[in-house]
Amino acid sequence: MRAEQVTDPVAHHAEGPVWSPSWGGLRWVDMLAGDVLSFAPDGTVRRKHVGRVAAALRPRRGGGAVVAVERGFVLEDADGALTALDPVWSDPAVRMNEGGCDPDGRFWCGSMAYDQAPGAAALYRLDPDGSVTTVLEGVTVSNGLDWSPDGSLAYYDDTATHRVDVFDYDRDAGLTGRRPFVELPDDGNPDGLTVDADGGVWVALFGGGAVHRYTADGVLDVVVEVPAAQVTACTFGGPGLDQLFVTTSREGLAPGDDPLAGALFRADVGGAGRPVREFAG
């Protein structure tokens, strides 16, 4: 199947789409512009600047959002006011990249070096009390992260490994038992991912112009073609959570190349997602 274009190429490096009724629908980020984008009912795209980088976001249970910014986190309250938490690190060569919330309301987000230096990044966990824990080190490009419908498994990719991994998840033990879930060719670059209501794992392929769905057994069963090569992330949205929204990037492209890159796309894929897990802080 093929995704349809929803917006003009409104972003340089769009990432991290999230659907939440609490904020009126779809939000995503124009990462290197430091902006959170929202899709208004009239079809217009609105922007809110949150920092030098806006890497990932999730709704908060009490309203507003938690946003991963260049070197840490910002909390948006229900009225839209922003409060920056203390930076997690000081190295200007490293930035946040992608994340998601676990079944217990904690926000996990991973980093990457601007030059993608091998092993320079990590995966962090922000707890509701504002404390931050480093949970995985030696990462190169920390990317897609989401949990199975029952919360017992977490799917994760470090793009440089060219594979999607799966962990066992427990509140106290965290992520354990890491093992390969899907191996991709050397030119396959897994980016953002989301898990549907049936446990299928949808993976954006950066440079591949597609989103792949894998069954819980790791079998490829759906391919969504996207008319832009640098596909970055995907999520389910719409009133029935039955539309797959897909973000794309213009990063590194010359003017005129891949003219739809940076646009938002949508596909009716015959399945549905599950409500986004919210941050408890």
What is the DSSP-derived secondary structure letter of residue 276?
Answer: P
Q: Which two tokens stand for residue 229?
A: 């090569």
Q: Which helix (H) or strand (E) holds 19?
A: strand 14-20
Do the bridges between strand 132-139 and strand 142-147 make them parallel or antiparallel, or are there none, so unpaired? unpaired
From 146, 157, 191, 196, active-site residue? 191
- 61-69: long-range contacts at Cβ-Cβ below 8 A with a sequence spacing of 24 or more? 61/105, 61/278, 61/279, 61/280, 63/22, 65/23, 65/27, 65/36, 65/279, 66/107, 66/126, 66/279, 66/281, 67/36, 68/96, 68/99, 68/107, 68/109, 69/34, 69/96
Examine the residue annotation and report whether 127 is marked as an active-site residue of this protein.
Answer: no
**DSSP string computed for 149-171:** TTSSEEEEEEGGGSEEEEEEEET
Alpha-carbon distance 196 to 212, whole Å? 12
- CA 101, distance to chain mean position in Å, is 11
* Residue positions annotated with a catalytic role: 191
